[in-house]
Structure 1
Amino acid sequence: MTRTEYSWLLPSAMAADPDLYDPGPAGERSVRPPARGRVRRTVRDWIVDLVFFLFAALMALVVVEQSDQFGNSRAVVHFDELVGLLSCGAIWLRRRWPVQLALGLALVGVLSPAVAGALIVAIFSLAVHRPFRPVAIVGGIMIAFGVVQPFVRTDPTTSAGASIAAGLVILLLATGWGMLVRSQRQLYVALRERAHRAETEAALRAEQAQRLAREAIAREMHDVLAHRLTLLSVHAGALEFRPDAPPAEIARAAGVIRDSSHDALQDLRQIIGVLRAPGDGGPGDRPQPTLATLDALVEESREAGMAVVLDNRIQDPDRVPAALGRTVYRIAQEGLTNARKHAPGAEVTVAVTGAPGNGVVVAVDNPAPAGPFEAVPGSGQGLIGLTERATLAGGSLEHGRTGDGGFHVRAWLPWAA
């Protein structure tokens, strides 16, 4: 995030100085924006500046009072009063020009100790609003001026060495305090930025999870309902084009339509049920298909009039994981559905082979239809969904036309030893 982007996270008094949050490479000060773009002072800013002004004014009054008591001339006393007053007024410029203010007060402080309070405020503000390099440079200059000051304006009550030591301690304390405040504010900004970034990433992950869940539900809905609705379409078409069929065939077709409609409704309820939260009255979960239910799928297709040959040569079928068995079932189900729609009357072969460590191979083959027929329309989404399902399981799937005009679907799925 840039300074402009995360400045809304901060109090306006902190956002008023963008350089605080962008020290630049190797601690160099970045370019400050023009003054016209600055944030207006808040009540907090006015209170802080007023406290600093009163502190500088109090220090100036003490120094002027001591200057008068030490027997200085009236001109020197008036000079101290004027310098102290101007330095207190300069406090209001500490955010805009902290470097210039600190250097100017340090230079004037050599001639008049009345700027001592304003000088402490200036070095504190400099440490808050600028990185270490300019603070160190200005601090070194101020130390040099502080060494000279006791010899220009001597203090009868204190030796030059004591004055220099006291000034150095006060300078270091003000600088350290300012750097501590700067570090705390930068930490605050970093934490807020990190929290904002974490929220954004969490929202993206949630959105991706929702998209994947929708895709999984759509794939499951297609695989489940396509099989049932194809049965309905085939038998309804038979009733439409053969109204003179024997009553037994009509009754059998009607029974298949009824059973398929019921199963389709149950499957649809199950899929919609996964979208509901627990305890909201949703239907109970129906058993998921596994490899053991593959025989029932083939038998259901045979009852619908299909000629299906099942070749199941799975070694140790009881060890087949539930997820793997469900994927095998869905691939076989989609293959039978496509054969029913595009090759009615043709014999379909479903071959399942595999062993732990070698994986499972599922193959569904059908020859070309024996004669003319009215094809059931399809969108091709089923094969796309099967490919995605096999890929998600860690396997692969291939399909296509055979040389005799038939169709072939073959999938390999991993099975750990």
Structure 2
Amino acid sequence: MPPRPAPAPLTLRGEAWRYALVIAISAVVIIAQVADPTFPLSTWSLPLDVAVGVASLVLLHWRRRFPVTIALLIALGSVFFLSLSGPSMLALVSVATRRRWREIIPVGVGMIVAGMALSIVSDMTETRAEALLDLALNTAFTALAIAWGMYVGSRRELMRTLVERAETAESEQAARVAQARTAERARIAREMHDVLAHRISMVSLHAGALAFRDDLPPADVRHSAEIIQASSHQALIELRQVLGVLRDETTDDTTERPQPAARDIPELLDEARASGMHIAERCEADLPSVPDSIGRTSYRIVQESLTNASKHAPDTTVTVTLVGAPGDALSVTVSNPLPIGSPAVSATPGAGLGLVGLAERVRLAGGTLEHSITAGQRFEVVARLPWPA
């Protein structure tokens, strides 16, 4: 069983009323005993009794750290000093708040024995009936103190449990917020990559050609410049769309975000052809009927594959194949020949995470994605996305 945490320290007000109650109990006991004609006043010293009582009040300051030891010491002293009646009750209550019977029973029995011993030492018990009455009273007061201490202890335990639950719930909420923030950052990164990578790659490709070739005819220079202008303009528009949605924290509406679908793939291929890429297309699927959930993913697959081909295998023919039907799956295959000779080194920087992001997108859509180099020396990306009937 793990050790219980230490109780919270008492406030000054809490200590004050406890000490006031202890002093009141001791005062009542002293007055009642002194008023008893059978009490041996000749052998009793009030100043000494009061001094011992004050010392016990000081000793009670450490009752929460050493409850059993303090309680037994005060119980032993209460056999000889009336002023220890109140402190002994508070010490017993402190032990009972821990709710450990292996501590409560010995201390409780010790308090009862000490009370009976006080009666015997003071010669206040002359008959058997008086002894039984003293025993009953001592037992009743001891039981009352134990019951009160256990109630206080259970209430403290309840409050501690509620605080721990609140702290746990708060930490779990913080963890959920952090997880959601991380997921949102990843989503934003994917969206920015998907929206901008293709456009910027086209700009970099044609700008690099203009910088490398200084013998191009004016018509080719004009054509490349138009592609750079169109791609830059479209990239700026799409960037503004993404940033506009990200700035809007008052709505969860996703309709304003750039959300291409499978029906937009032919337009994407036409844009790539206009930029100078060589593309062979085979489509055996009704693209307009493809659900947006998988159509958006298929669009990103083709877009990322074209971007990679333009960077790493320029001037090669890229083959795009779309096959599928409702109730089966939509298969997206994009392949291109490997560059002849040394692998092409792209001047366009990249993080190398495009295919990683695609794999995550496809996994979330319930599909599979594979990329490999075939026996025919072609780099091939194959994705299968479930197409509900």
1:90 aligns to what?
A: 56
| Equivalences, count | 379
Residue 396 of structure 1: how far off its partner (Å): 2.7
2:328 aligns to what?
A: 358
Residue identity matched to 2:307: T
**Identity over aligned residues, as a percent?**
40
1:336 aligns to what?
A: 306
Residue identity matched to 1:121: L
CA deviation string 1:124-146 (max 9, x = no partner): 12223563320122213434555
2:354 aligns to what?
A: 382
CA RMSD of aligned residues (A): 3.6
Residue identity matched to 2:312: H
Q: Are the structure 2 counterparts of residues 188 and 230 from structure 1 closer, same or farther at C-alpha, using a change threshold of 3 Å?
A: same
1:322 aligns to what?
A: 292
Residue identity matched to 1:75: S
1:18 aligns to what?
A: none
Residue 112 of structure 1: how far off its partner (Å): 6.3
Q: Structure 2: how far apart are the matches of 1:253 and 1:220? A: 27
From 146, 167, 191, give the equivalent of 2:162. Answer: 191
Equivalent position SS for 2:97: helix
Q: Structure 1: how far apart are the matches of 2:288 and 2:280? A: 19
Q: Structure 1: how far apart are the matches of 2:21 and 2:55? A: 10
Mean Cα displacement is larger for which, 266-275 or 79-88?
A: 79-88
From 131, 134, 137, give the equivalent of 1:163. Answer: 134
Equivalent position SS for 2:107: helix
1:293 aligns to what?
A: 264
Q: Structure 1: how far apart are the matches of 2:87 and 2:57? A: 7
Does 2:115 align with 1:180?
no
Q: Structure 2: how far apart are the matches of 1:171 and 1:73? A: 25
Q: Structure 2: how far apart are the matches of 1:120 and 1:274? A: 68
1:75 aligns to what?
A: 42
Q: Structure 2: how far apart are the matches of 1:93 and 1:355? A: 86
Matches within 5 A, 1:169-318: 169-278=140-249, 285-314=256-285, 318=289
Mean Cα displacement is larger for which, 337-346 or 137-146?
A: 137-146
TM-score by length of 2: 0.82
Q: Are the structure 2 counterparts of residues 160 and 317 from structure 1 closer, same or farther at C-alpha, using a change threshold of 3 Å?
A: farther
Aligned 8 A contact 2:52 2:83 in 1 = no
Q: Structure 1: how far apart are the matches of 2:66 and 2:214? A: 97
Residue identity matched to 2:59: L
Residue 62 of structure 1: how far off its partner (Å): 1.7
Q: Are the structure 2 counterparts of residues 57 and 148 from structure 1 closer, same or farther at C-alpha, using a change threshold of 3 Å?
A: closer
2:364 aligns to what?
A: 392
Equivalent position SS for 2:259: coil
Equivalent position SS for 1:275: helix
Q: Are the structure 2 counterparts of residues 357 and 72 from structure 1 closer, same or farther at C-alpha, using a change threshold of 3 Å?
A: same
Does 2:101 align with 1:132?
yes
From 319, 326, 331, give the equivalent of 1:349. Answer: 319
Q: Structure 1: how far apart are the matches of 2:184 and 2:73? A: 66
Structure 1: gaps spanning 5 or more residues: 14-41
From 19, 22, 46, give the equivalent of 1:50. Answer: 19
Q: Are the structure 2 counterparts of residues 114 and 310 from structure 1 closer, same or farther at C-alpha, using a change threshold of 3 Å?
A: same
Q: Structure 1: how far apart are the matches of 2:219 and 2:294? A: 40
Q: Are the structure 2 counterparts of residues 394 and 207 from structure 1 closer, same or farther at C-alpha, using a change threshold of 3 Å?
A: same
Residue identity matched to 1:351: T
Q: Structure 2: how far apart are the matches of 1:211 and 1:155? A: 78
TM-score by length of 1: 0.77
Matches within 5 A, 1:8-19: 11-13=8-10
Q: Are the structure 2 counterparts of residues 278 and 265 from structure 1 closer, same or farther at C-alpha, using a change threshold of 3 Å?
A: same
1:27 aligns to what?
A: none
CA deviation string 1:324-353 (max 9, x = no partner): 211111110011111222222322111122
